[in-house]
Amino acid sequence: MRRMKAEWEKQRAVLLSFPHKRSDWSDNLRSALSVFVRIAQAIAYKEPVYIVCDDKADISDLFCSTTNMNFIELPANDTWTRDYGVIGIDEDGVAKLLDFTFDGWGGKFEASLDNGINKALQKKGYFGTTRMETIDFVLEGGSLESDGAGTILTTSECLCNPNRNGGLTKAEVEANLKEYLGAKRFLWLDHGYLAGDDTDSHIDTLARFVNAGTIAYVKCEDESDEHYEELKKMEKQLKGFRTEEGKPYRLAALPMTSALYRDDGRRLPATYANFLITNHALLYPTYNDPMDKTADKVFRSLFPGREIIPVNCLRLIEQGGSLHCSTMQIPI
């Protein structure tokens, strides 16, 4: 029996991949690195961090302390480890890691180096004795939410997209995820998106499991915003979902930021749903926005037993991702 682990289950470490001179961050590398340093240090005070980097010497002087940090020099295309890092499952009571194919979100970007990161980490021994299985199926970690008990929350826009696996039906996707992840139930969101998002509506930008009975989701209150109607339809779907016991989910609305734009006028997909649960803390992104304080209140109510750590991710969102996108937990 297999099951995909929930993010709140015990973690061995969190994987990050730092920006480098040949990446899309090169125009202002130092400012990008400062955000990754902040994320790494927020995690490392109580949990190991694996940092994939181009050259340890280029970044080690940025840290006040490198306790609990492992610097791993490997070539990488980009920094979004959520989508190419290993996905953890439990198989008959034993942890196992799954290495799916990563193709740059449907071939949008070069990803051959990122697609080899998991194999390189395994070869170097960073997964210890935990077995890893490589699977010839395109799947990104940011496209899935698991409650740890067999329920998968996801979006049809991503998993059924023609640029992933040739365009599968929901039934075909479910058959594959039942085999690979041991999934028993699927909650499909058919509505909701964020302008400027390159991932084809990853679930971790829209709605997230907080625990087996609670879902946090992005809610738009501004009727003039382009997202209003789609996110309202998404909310209606969420209200119709039921737990395995047949009960409605507890829904926690996260605010939307004010509209943020790149210099070329493209809207940025800023979202508070891109939070990270670690062994002892909840890290959430901020954007120098008035709604940062509202989001903080929501997270403190949802995670009363964890330290709540805000991280300014305005620099990350300029490249289309945020805090959760740039991290991947490696379970025990």
Residues 6+ apart with CB under 8 A from 329: 7, 11, 13, 14, 15, 88, 276, 277, 278
Nearest to 81 by CA among 14, 148, 21: 14
Residue whose structure tokens are 């697609």: 115
Helix then strand then coil, % of the chain, to nearest 5:
30, 25, 45
Please, are residues 283 and 309 in contact by the beta-carbon 8 Å criterion? yes
Q: For this structure, is 220 an active site residue?
A: no
Edge-to-edge strand order for the sheet containing 281-286? 276-277, 281-286, 307-312
Torsion sign, CA atoms 314, 310, 257, 272: positive
Residue whose structure tokens are 């809207």: 267
The catalytic residues are 325
